[in-house]
Chains A and B, each alone.
Chain A
């Protein structure tokens, strides 16, 4: 079952940073935080993941609080193509362990 809580929807102006929060207050020590996004009628796309340190890649940055009970995905310069549903997932990093999706945040980037 999903262990994360996210706002249902958010808007962001094009060119501005989009900050998407995720609450995972019951996360355990060996669970990673993963972020995926889904553009309408497509399979989800991997964005980034982390354990406790902040992470950055070409798509986004992931900021995890020191107590690991919440995190924020940052899209530094949102474009219209970033409009999608963003899912935050916590999971032990092991082959057989499933990814359970919560309700996600529908991000709309506004021109």
Chain B
């Protein structure tokens, strides 16, 4: 299947700092990528849809100024958690669709811990 890669796989930061997570489609171009967040023992929650060359679409209740998404190329989307706080500690997962009518492929996830 298609390969989606995330970096870093884990990050620890101090409260108040910003953290950037990268999501790359390695063997295909993705005009659309999706960002999810997952808390322990819970399901994946869709945060936003990232669109290449345009603004991201955020799900209800997700702060767009808090979670900045940039999709500047067909193979890279970034999620920046600004002014991170302990409650932002979570597992962040990105995904992309190589075929316009196909299935979604996920990255390995990035675990954020805010101290």
**Does B associate with A?**
yes
Q: B-contacting residues of A (Cβ < 8 Å)?
A: 2, 34, 36, 38, 41-46, 49, 87, 93-96, 98-104
Number of interface residues of B (CB under 8 A): 27
Chain B interface residues toward A at CB < 8 A: 1, 4, 6, 31-32, 34, 36, 43-46, 49, 91, 93, 95, 97, 100-109, 111
How many Å from the CB of B28 to the closest CB on chain A? 12
Give complex CA distance A41, B111 in Å: 9
Give CA–CA (A44, B4) in the complex, Å. Answer: 11
Pair B91/A98 contact, Cβ less than 8 Å: no
Query: Are the CB atoms of A96 and B32 closer together than 8 Å?
Result: yes
Can you list 24 A-B pairs, Cβ within 8 angstroms, ordered by A? A2-B43, A36-B104, A41-B91, A41-B109, A41-B111, A42-B109, A43-B93, A43-B95, A43-B106, A43-B107, A43-B109, A44-B44, A44-B93, A45-B106, A87-B44, A93-B101, A94-B101, A96-B32, A96-B49, A99-B95, A99-B104, A101-B36, A101-B45, A101-B46
